[in-house]
Amino acid sequence: MAVHILILCTHNSARSVLAEGMLNHLAARYGRDVRAHSAGSAPRGDVNPFALEALQSVGIDTADFRSKSWDEFTGADAPALSIVITVCDSAAAETCPIFIGRSELPPIKVHWGYPDPSNAEGGDTGKRRAFELTRQAIGYRMLQMLQLPLESLERAALETELARIGRS
């Protein structure tokens, strides 16, 4: 049974999309039954083209990527989420969404903040570099997470490990 992970950011157009793409790509590469999803509390409606470009540069098919609301993950037909990761940059005073989800066993919630690459200076060149660096940083944490026995680790131990990864 797949482990479903939801990655949240307010607009679901950059960081959360990078995280969804990287986690699904790496999980497939390493044969892990992990499925990443991304959403936003106030979705922008489209995915930042620099996010798509950064994912495509490492061979990820982005044809089905879209900016979507977290409401898609609260209904009865939504996947049972094991983990919810917020990727907003609270250090930059961004308000990260707080996901309630369904009422059974709530997912583990963790915050892995990243600066918004959309705000990078230096025109398109600066933004491309910022998106690529963000993709790499997110990919590193996703690799660390995929090293964990997500399906079998006790909840408290998993929370501890995810928080440790967030500090790396």
pLDDT, tens only, 13-25: 999 999 999 999 9
Measured over all CA atoms, what is the biggest interatomic distance in the chain, rounded to whole angstroms?
47
pLDDT, tens only, 66-118: 999 988 988 888 898 999 999 987 544 445 556 666 556 788 999 999 999 99
Question: What would the CATH number be for the domain defined by 3-167?
Answer: 3.40.50.2300
pLDDT, tens only, 53-66: 999 999 999 999 99
How far, in Å, CA of 137 to CA of 115, rounded? 11
Q: Is 89 considered catalytic here?
A: no
What are the boundaries of each domain within the chain? Answer: 3-167
> What is the rounded average pLDDT of the residues 17-35?
98
> If we measure between CA atoms, which residue out of 9, 64, 8, 1 comes closest to residue 35?
1
How far, in Å, CA of 16 to CA of 24, rounded? 12
From 14, 23, 88, 165, the catalytic residue: 88
From 3, 9, 27, 87, the catalytic residue: 9
Q: Is 88 considered catalytic here?
A: yes
Predicted model pTM: 0.92
How far, in Å, CA of 160 to CA of 73, rounded? 25
Please give the pLDDT value at position 91.
44
Q: Is 144 considered catalytic here?
A: no
Q: What DSSP designation does 90 have? A: G
The strands making up 81-86's β-sheet, listed across from edge to edge, are 34-39, 3-8, 81-86, 108-111
Tokens for 150, please give them: 């997500």
